[in-house]
Amino acid sequence: MTGRVVVVGSANVDLVVDVPRHPAGGETILGGDLRRTPGGKGANQAVAAVRAGAADTTFVGALGRDESADLLLASLDGAGVRTDTVDRVDAPTGTALITVSPDGENAIVVAPGANSRVRVGAAQARRIAAADVVLAQLEIPLDAVVAAARERREGALFVLNAAPSRDLPDTLWEQLDVLVVNEHEAADLVGRAAPPEELASALLARVPAVVVTLGAGGSLVARRGAEPLRVPAAEVVAVDTTGAGDTYCGVLAAALAGAGTAGSGLVQAARLAGAAGALAVTRPGAQDAVPDAADVVALAGRLPADTK
């Protein structure tokens, strides 16, 4: 373990079905067998941070008092994630309904359930204050995200994966050290579509460092006072893209926790994260698809050089 990561976010049970194509409005199609697997952006990222990123990882979230919660806790505990700061609440555990097409692309609808009750209480605040990196997403209340950012210690990094897209209050922008978005999320935050370099440049007016993920195109790492760099992706055959972005974010946070900086260490963190995300799409599922740290390091070492 080379660093301490706290992931504050959502946990869902994923109900997944393979489909020949995603249905249009009002259309019914036949799919394959239903799969029930552990997921949720926050939980996925926590598993990725500990398994693929080799970081001492805590998950802060909320689960119901149902069998779905037991499934999620078993997955988190089995991966080595600390779960003593997870609240059990009187609401159904979050659920995601996912269809996956033959090319591995997915369509997702989330019923938040207990995720709407995520909070940062005294126990959660103490664990956050001991972290090197705090990572959050936007499937939980914004108040909890802001509270988590404010509880981090001086020198610790706050990384936000701004997904799913939503407007961010000034109180959150002020806390950000690293923003991770895909092209669509970046365009939503900027207010217009543009090439990734232009989007990243616009976002740097509000945050010190931005990572724009580009799928098979790798990622773009932009920092104030430095030339943006394109980090290449590995060429793989995608089976299921569910959770690949979460794997990327979890490994990025773990690598930053080990490096202790959002400066030059961010580029190497993005290489490791990209390798982890590439390996994840070659396997079905979300948490089940997270690779081991040794495989991530090996693939990252074979990637081509970064480019300006």
By annotation, the residues acting in catalysis are 246
Q: Find the length of the chain.
A: 308
Q: Mention every residue, 6+ apart, whose C-beta is less than 8 A from residue 111.
A: 92, 94, 95, 96, 97
Count Cα atoms within 13 angstroms, Cβ side, for 89: 19
CA torsion angle 24 25 28 34 (round to 10): 80
Among candidate residues 46, 104, 13, the one with its CA nearest the CA of residue 254? 46
Peptide bond into 196 cis (omega under 30): no
- Longest pairwise C-alpha distance within the chain: 53
What is the β-pairing status of strands 56-60 and 4-8? parallel
Report strand pairing: 12-18 vs 94-100: parallel
Q: Which residues pair with 5 in a beta bridge?
A: 57, 133
